[in-house]
Chains A and B, each alone.
Chain A
Amino acid sequence: MTYSNNDSRMNGKLVVPEDRLKLIRQLEKEMVEERIRRRKEKRRIANRAAKVSP
């Protein structure tokens, strides 16, 4: 259960200002890129480990 007396949350759709929305989109993009980079790195390490292990 979450309670807040903030009217914008309770009365209707939350409106995010355009500049903040832009920033959020940018952060989301960076997070996805970072996730892909980490996944590639993990795969690279796993491949290398597979070559090294007997």
Chain B
Amino acid sequence: MPGRGTFFALDKQRLPEFVERLPELGVVYVQARTDCGGAGKLCELTPVYIDYESHTLCSPAVGLMVSLDECKGVNATSNGEAGSAMCGFDFEFESRPCGLSIYALPLVSDMDCYTSLIDQFFGRPLDREDLDEWREGYSPANYHCDNCEKAGLYRAKYPERHPVCEIFQGLIENQTRVFSRLMSAHSDLSISLQPENIVIDSGIVSVIGNDSSVLALHMHNLHALVIKRKTVDGSDVSAIGIYNSLGTKGLEFLVEDPALVEGWSHICELAKTRDLS
């Protein structure tokens, strides 16, 4: 196997054949990313099937959907050392860093299968520079207007002042389970987590669950929160939608207690008063 930090590219025509082999990896870490944030969890990608009508990879048990049409390519990373982390497949889409990664973890995944998938489906190793250049072509320009950019920089500089932190702090204290869904044109991932801790670093708020699930909120792009009561499968829930400055919803959180809407709205009202002072 090649040396540390080597990248490979998948022949896109073999994408359907490749994704159908993913369950063989056993337990993997799946991470989906939009411009508003990301979600990740440890799971087994089984069962997995391709809906050939919509050209979508589906794993209903995991709550994962990936559009194969939107996928611009898959790159594999290998650092070639057993026991070291970050061996994974990066599904690349337009508008990087949005995307989906499936990581094989040495202690829980079938690493022999990982190596064998690279040998069977991926071509010769790529230069990091070539890969970065290829990715650059799929990195969109900043879409914020001056006002949104200013507000975004403020959120990234002081994430702890944003009501979303206070809301999650309350959920941690009350040990409340949160159902979250990350949605975009290219992928959709649902995770259920009981938040245990919040880590704030470089403008990113990470909510860590008690079972290795993680939600990351990219504060610069977290333009607005919409809080409302919703009915899901006949039950009333409290919902928070997270929107970017183009009005696109990137994340949604649901909690099975409709009464939380009042408390969350109050937190936002206080934050508005604080922002204006």
**Which residues does A use to contact B, with CB under 8 Å?**
1-8, 10-11, 17
Contact = CB atoms under 8 A, between A and B. Distances in A.
Contacts of B269: 1
Interface residues of B, number: 25
Interface string B147-188: 110110011000000110000000000000000000000000
Contacts of B271: 3, 5
Is chain A's binding surface mostly helix, strand, loop or mixed? Answer: mixed
Nearest to B276: A10
Nearest to A20: B145
27 contacts: A1-B226, A1-B227, A1-B228, A1-B261, A1-B269, A2-B224, A2-B226, A2-B227, A3-B163, A3-B227, A3-B271, A3-B272, A4-B151, A4-B223, A4-B224, A4-B225, A5-B154, A5-B275, A6-B147, A6-B148, A6-B223, A7-B147, A7-B275, A8-B147, A10-B272, A10-B275, A11-B276
Interface in B116-156: 145, 147-148, 150-151, 154-155
Q: Which 5 A-B pairs have the closest CB atoms?
A: A3-B268, A4-B224, A1-B265, A8-B147, A6-B151
A8 B150 CA distance: 10
Nearest to B219: A5
B103 interface: no
